[in-house]
């Protein structure tokens, strides 16, 4: 399993509209992409224009090749991209076995 973490900063005062677009985007694009496992979103308290999006994929290729290079990515970007105050930061993580 791969965890994609996306750090998004949006324009001030757009929280409600952005959250609605995120909800729609997760339901209509991310969740339909092969290899998608789950998504959750955290909203900044001290920085209300900041969102952290955590997306689990079965493999890195499912995200980078299947989703990012597939037909669903432009739809996703069209739904949420207009809210971005700056380009989102994104990194992938893998689990560390502890037991």
Instruction: Give residue-wise pLDDT tens across range 69-89.
Output: 999 999 999 999 999 999 999
pLDDT tens figures, 3-44: 999 999 999 999 999 999 999 999 999 999 999 999 999 999
Q: How far apart are CA 53 and CA 76, in angstroms?
A: 13
Report the pLDDT averaged over residues 88-94. 98
Q: How many helices (H) and strands (E) does the chain have?
A: 3, 4
Assigned architecture for domain 2-94: 2-Layer Sandwich (3.30)
Structural contact between residues 4 and 55, judged by C-beta atoms closer than 8 angstroms = yes
Q: How many CA atoms lie within 13 A of 73 on its CB side?
A: 9
What pLDDT, on a 0 to 100 scale, did the predictor assign at position 99?
Answer: 83
pTM of the model: 0.94
């Amino acid at each position: 399993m791969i965890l994609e973490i996306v750090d998004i900063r949006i324009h001030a005062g757009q929280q409600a509209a952005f959250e609605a677009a995120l909800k729609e985007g997760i339901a209509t694009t991310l969740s339909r992409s092969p290899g998608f496992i789950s998504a959750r979103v955290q909203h900044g308290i001290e920085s209300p224009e900041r969102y952290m999006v955590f997306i689990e994929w079965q493999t890195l290729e499912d995200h980078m090749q299947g989703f990012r290079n597939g037909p669903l990515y432009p739809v996703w970007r069209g739904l949420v991209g207009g809210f971005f105050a700056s380009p989102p930061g994104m990194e992938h993580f893998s689990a560390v076995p502890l037991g």
